[in-house]
Every structure is written in C-alpha cells, then in structure tokens.
Amino acid sequence: MKILITASFLLAVACGTSTSSSTVSAVDVTPAPCAVPRTNSIHMTAMATAPDGKKSDVSGAVAWTTGNSQTATVNASGIVVGVSAGVTAITATYKGATGKVDCTVTP
C-alpha cells in the first residue's frame, strides 16, 4: 500500500513539472497577410510551437496588441476591427515568444 501511494505522488509531481516548465519557441499569427475593410472585423489565430515541434492553438491565451490603434484595434480574443485605411502590425505574445503580421485596412 505504501508503494502505491508513493508511485501516485511521483506521477503527480512529474506531470506538474512538465506542464509548468513548458516553453514556446515560436508564435505564428494568421491569417497572413491580414486584410480587413474599414469598420469590418477579422478573427486572428495564434499557434504556439513548442521546442519539440508540437503546435497548439493559444489564441485565447496570448496578449494581442496593435501597432496603431487609429488604423486597427484588436481585443483580447484576437478580433481585429479596421478603423481607418492603412497598415499596422498585429502582435501576439505568449510565454515570451512573439508573432506578428501586418494588417491592411482598406477604405
């Protein structure tokens, strides 16, 4: 009985360690290129790549930012809204990795 409890404890510790120490080697933002008419919206997606090459959708967990909120805004869900004609960068940051795409807003 004591060995079973110890094995369960070690399994829980090992699982917790691998989850908490995960890193990201890259973040890819799509669609690329991004184009949206003024006053319309487009949903961006962020895919994280782990060092082992595995990819996962982290769109809801990234920090989304825009290079120029007078051209386009982006909310926490990755929804970009065109404000005025021009080009701005849309950036997604996750666990220290950053992905960026230029987004063109058309009249």
The pLDDT tens digits of the residues spanning 33-79 come to 999 999 999 999 999 999 999 999 999 999 999 999 999 999 999 99
- Residue 17: which pLDDT band, with cuts at 50, 70 and 90? very low
CA–CA gap between residue 56 and residue 52 (Å, rounded)? 12
- Could you give the residue ranges of the DSSP H alpha helices within the chain? 2-20
φ and ψ at residue 36, rounded to 5 degrees: -145, 135
* pTM of the predicted model over 0.85: no
